[in-house]
Amino acid sequence: MLKRFAWVLLVGFAVALPAGAQTRPGTPAAAAQIDLNSASRDDLMTLDGIGEVRADAIIRARPFRMKGELVERRLIPESLYDKLSDKVTVRPIPGTAPVPTTRPATVPQRKS
């Protein structure tokens, strides 16, 4: 009887723990995008690869007309941009025309 109770308890924990681990409080929803022009330092730092230094650089470089400027202005490498581009957005700046948020063209390298 005690073994059966222990087994039921173990199975109950095995089912309950993964369900609670799916969401972490304090993290932004997967569908929510972070606006580069208005996000706080802490909001920017929730993005993978963005620490204190990069968050401060992004804030100093504001305003942005399109998210591809992160690479154009050399604030982040293109490899990081590829990972973050679907998690960030740039809302139009009042008084300016909106610009499409397309991926920046790569700059050809000089041959030596």
- 10 contact partners, CB below 8 Å, separation of at least 6: none
The tokens describing 92, both together, are: 């139009």
Give per-residue pLDDT as tens, 3-61: 665 555 555 555 454 444 444 455 545 568 999 999 999 999 999 999 999 999 999 99
CA dihedral 3, 6, 11, 12 (to 10 degrees): 140
Give per-residue pLDDT as tens, 51-108: 999 999 999 999 999 999 999 999 999 999 999 999 999 998 777 665 554 555 666 6
| Peptide bond preceding 63 in cis form (omega within 30 of 0) | yes
Give residue 23's pLDDT: 43
pTM: 0.59
Can you give the residue range of the structural domain that contains 66? 39-94
Total domains present in the chain: 1
Give residue 22's pLDDT: 43
Longest Cα separation, the chain: 79
Tell me, yes or no, whether 7 lies in a domain: no
**Which letter, b or e, does each residue of 70-82 get, where b requires 16 or more Cβ atoms within 10 Å of its Cβ?**
bbeeebbeeebbe
Tell me, yes or no, whether 104 lies in a domain: no
Tell me, yes or no, whether 53 lies in a domain: yes
CA–CA dist 71, 64 (Å, integer): 12
